[in-house]
Amino acid sequence: LEVPDRPIIPFIEGDGIGVDVTPAMRRVVDAAVAKAYGGARAIVWRELLAGQKAVAELGADQILPEATLAAIREHHVAIKGPLETPVGTGMRSLNVALRQELDLYVCQRPVRYFRGTPSPLREPEKVDMVIFRENSEDIYAGIEWPAESPEARRLIAFLREEMGVRKIRFPESSAIGIKPVSREGSERLIRRAIAYALAQGKPSVTLVHKGNIMKFTEGGFRDWGYALAEREFGEQVFTWRQKTALAKSEGKAAAEAAEKAAVAAGKLIVKDVIADNFLQQILLRPELYSVVATLNLNGDYLSDALAAEVGGIGMAPGANLSDSHAIFEATHGTAPDIAGLGRANPSSLILSAVMLLEHIGWPEAAERILAAMEATIGAGEVTADLAALRGDVPALSTAEFTAALCRRVEA
- Interface with ligand NAD includes 344 (CB under 6 A)? yes
Phi, psi at residue 4, to the nearest 5°?
-70, 170
Among 82-90, 114-122, 260-268, 276-284, the segment contacting ligand NAD (CB under 6 A): 82-90
> If residue 54 lies in a helix (H) or strand (E), which one and from where to where?
helix 52-58
- Interface with ligand NAD includes 95 (CB under 6 A)? yes
Closest approach of Cβ 217 to ligand NAD, in Å? 25
Binding mask 20-39 for ligand NAD (x = CB under 6 A): -x------------------
Q: Is 135 annotated as a binding residue?
A: no
Distance CA 209, CA 219 (A): 7
Residues between 226 and 285 that touch ligand NAD (CB under 6 A): none
CB 51 within 8 A of CB 63: yes
- Interface with ligand NAD includes 345 (CB under 6 A)? yes
CB hemisphere CA count around 309 (13 angstroms): 26
Distance CA 113, CA 386 (A): 13
What secondary structure letter does DSSP report for 393? S
- Catalytic residue, chosen from 105, 113, 140, 226, is 140
Q: Is 115 annotated as a binding residue?
A: no
Q: Is 345 annotated as a binding residue?
A: yes
Q: Is 99 annotated as a binding residue?
A: yes
Distance CA 221, CA 225 (A): 6
* Burial status of residue 172 (CB atoms within 10 A of its CB: 0-12, 13-18, 19 or more): exposed
Among 103-111, 196-204, 297-305, 332-340, the segment contacting ligand NAD (CB under 6 A): 332-340
Q: Which residue is nearest to ligand NAD (CB)?
A: 333
Among 162-170, 239-247, 340-348, 352-360, the segment contacting ligand NAD (CB under 6 A): 340-348
Nearest to 364 by CA among 43, 7, 36: 36
300 carries an active-site annotation = yes
Q: Which of 334, 352, 376, 402 binds ligand NAD (CB under 6 A)?
A: 334
Distance CA 235, CA 230 (A): 8
Which residues are at the interface with ligand NAD (CB under 6 A)?
A: 17, 21, 82-85, 95, 313-314, 329, 332-338, 344-345, 348, 385
* Catalytic residue ranges: 140, 210, 276, 300
